[in-house]
Structure 1
């Protein structure tokens, strides 16, 4: 059966309390061949079945299946919160990256009761500073009150950064930005995933919408304002970007930017840039946070010279020069391929490159945005271990309201394969003319290692009414 069908079945088995399905769900969760969406469905199904059996099974998975420890903790959060907190701290203590830790933290932060339980378990424990710093940012971004943030800081040994500068220090910093700041280096710093800049802010048409668009910030804001905004985001919050915190009657907590306040429901854009719709009948309380949705301390990991470069880059945005968005219709929103499984690689090799467009393929696509110049840096794209191409794979989506032709300009064609719809194009030229029906169409670029030391790749819409969808 198709993965999406099995996924739905695992959820329904739990929702309908089908006890006879418990063993099957346990087998699905631990089987090596299970694809991630189905494995997560099995975890949710078992969580809904609940009981001591589910709690003990999740704890067993945590101890005997290292690859599934994150899912085990998520399951424990629903079936044994105290044990979940204990295992979560053990997991965080050994986590190497925030990508590992984020799902577990999200599980605890999406509940009104669990943050306090996790905070209590953290007392006297030690976790890596980088993990603690990112966790603090997650807590702050969601506007969560209580002891968890302090507990994370203590466990990770996170030192608070000064949130203000004296007038003399500010003047000196402004001068450093003007004389020593490097906007090119600053753009690379801005793009670092751990700073979350692109998650919340757009530059032009690409990026998050949780915070203000920065396309012209350098032309409208003085350097000292930029510095203060980075060090103390809550000092001055732009109108329309205050954080709303909703507590639901079932104990849930939802926070983010207000998108719409209707008669029947409130629509929030949460810190993960996802839309959340909450029926007004389910809201227990609502408040506006005095804190910015941009958490303090985001730049705490930067050296002073890196901070200076970042501010210099922001100060150039919108000014005449290379950091002003040009009128060219460059594609600025991409999906790039993450780490594929061996099974996925074999499937594409045997079926053909058009298999990359299969909706149920479970491919690990990751969102990326072009630089201000329109170029996608290829050092931000993983190489797939796919013989014989060993490619870097990037995908765009073109949306047309009516059938029409679209001409694309490619910055490079050497060792580049292009997949449109269900077919790989036979001839790749610097200008590609596509004849597309109405709708949204994926276009995938497979950049082989024979392309050489290609630093970046760009696509420009030269002709046609297509819009980039993401």
Structure 2
């Protein structure tokens, strides 16, 4: 990858170099992995060049040169891939690939209740499914659709078309869930046509991956619910978060005021979903630095995240942190002094916790576990989902 990046820079940093590279690729064939790395290298420069992107895709046989196609492996190819998964696959790298934004796995799938509901929860995938089934699910989504997750297409009498996973059917309406997790209620007497639809998982999604990345991803999925390292523990840990996006408006709002502003309902703030890893830890190093004042090169900024608890009955609960160094918290808009195990008082209802995290080199992850307080009548749950 580094050599390909250096090679692409030779052309990109010279006037007319892009055209030279496009012409050099015409009629040529390059390895798929090389095309993927080369495309990523060029994308990382921030320059949009559709002609070059297409030339790389055509030379590497990637789907952007035409309609994505499902992949059906021969028995020999399947055996070779599964052997590679067992011998060279790395589940830790695979989990990082699964979490990549460009793949959007967590948009449709949850792990332990945190994530989308369009597809099945993958909490025990490795323990309940054979490796070849998992591979087929990735490469040819329509070949291996889990029961109760079949999609349907509905055309109404008004000519509107709806597609989604069937949630339920009653005597009066059909309920579908679309790819964005939106629920659609369609009256039965308004339906003109209903037919099976293709899987909502996009075909060709994994063409963005190199062979080693695919191997690592499958290794991770085959270990979910099968090995101790990738089995959801019984600990009540926060798995669904919201992270503040580092927009100019958000940065200005924080810098003009103070970190506590993040705990308010300020319209300048945009909160996006973030999810903990299987072990319950939330990686924070790639979060946007919002609170940095740029006073010196060594000044560290802060990231802001939120989670929610619901108290079914009032009382005390305990929050257990992996570390409280460089961490601030607000319960609602009330600041809370943190200790490794912090006791909080909750009234009945939903409560929002907001955190400011100093992005120091020592802070890699945030892990928050909910414990029962001794003799407290409180019944508290962590809110998961998307």
TM-score range, shorter chain: 0.7 to 0.9
The alpha carbon displacement at 1:222 in A equals 1.6
**Alignment correspondent of 2:303:** 392
**Alignment correspondent of 1:418:** 329
**Would you say 1:296 and 2:210 are equivalent positions?**
no
| Structure whose residues are more often strand by fraction | 2
Task: For residue 141 of structure 2, give the secondary structure of its aligned residue in structure 1.
Answer: coil
The alpha carbon displacement at 1:416 in A equals 0.8
Map residues 40-439 of structure 1 onto 2, 5 A cutoff. 156-158=64-66, 160=68, 163-289=71-197, 291-342=198-249, 344-349=250-255, 352-359=258-265, 361-387=267-293, 390-425=301-336, 427-439=337-349
The alpha carbon displacement at 1:193 in A equals 1.7
The alpha carbon displacement at 1:399 in A equals 0.8
Q: More relative contact order in 1 or in 2 (CA 8 Å, sep 6+)?
A: 2
Equivalent residue pairs, number: 321
| 8 Å Cα contact 2:236-2:382 kept in structure 1 | no
Q: Give the whole-Å Cα distance in 2 for the aligned partners of 1:241 and 1:127.
A: 39
Distance 1:424 1:386, change over 3 A: farther
| 8 Å Cα contact 1:353-1:419 kept in structure 2 | no
Aligned alpha-carbon RMSD (Å): 2.5
**Alignment correspondent of 1:462:** 371
The alpha carbon displacement at 1:200 in A equals 1.2
The alpha carbon displacement at 1:277 in A equals 2.0
Q: Deviations over 1:221-241 (max 9, x none)?
A: 121121111111111222111
| 8 Å Cα contact 2:291-2:303 kept in structure 1 | no
The alpha carbon displacement at 1:220 in A equals 1.6
Q: Give the whole-Å Cα distance in 2 for the aligned partners of 1:298 and 1:346.
A: 37
Q: Deviations over 1:325-364 (max 9, x none)?
A: 111111101001112333x444445554443243352521
Unaligned runs of 5+ in 1: 1-95, 98-124, 133-152
Q: Deviations over 1:231-276 (max 9, x none)?
A: 1111122211100112233433221111122233322111011212
Q: Deviations over 1:290-343 (max 9, x none)?
A: x2222221111110000000000011111132111111111101001112333x
The range that moved more, 383-392 or 166-175, is 383-392
Distance 1:415 1:188, change over 3 A: same
Q: Give the whole-Å Cα distance in 2 for the aligned partners of 1:353 and 1:466.
A: 27
| Structure whose residues are more often helix by fraction | 1
Q: Deviations over 1:148-206 (max 9, x none)?
A: xxxxx7xx424745611111111111111110100000000111122221111111121
TM-score of the two chains, using structure 2 as the length reference: 0.77
| 8 Å Cα contact 2:313-2:380 kept in structure 1 | no
Task: For residue 121 of structure 2, give the secondary structure of its aligned residue in structure 1.
Answer: coil
Q: Give the whole-Å Cα distance in 2 for the aligned partners of 1:201 and 1:419.
A: 30
The alpha carbon displacement at 1:389 in A equals 6.6
**Alignment correspondent of 1:64:** none
Task: For residue 363 of structure 1, give the secondary structure of its aligned residue in structure 2.
Answer: coil
The alpha carbon displacement at 1:212 in A equals 1.4
Pick the aligned partner of 1:442 from 352, 362, 386: 352
| 8 Å Cα contact 2:240-2:273 kept in structure 1 | yes
Task: For residue 338 of structure 2, give the secondary structure of its aligned residue in structure 1.
Answer: coil
| 8 Å Cα contact 1:354-1:421 kept in structure 2 | no
| 8 Å Cα contact 2:98-2:217 kept in structure 1 | yes
| 8 Å Cα contact 2:284-2:364 kept in structure 1 | yes
| 8 Å Cα contact 2:223-2:230 kept in structure 1 | yes
Unaligned runs of 5+ in 2: 1-42, 45-49, 58-62, 294-298, 373-377
Distance 1:173 1:128, change over 3 A: same
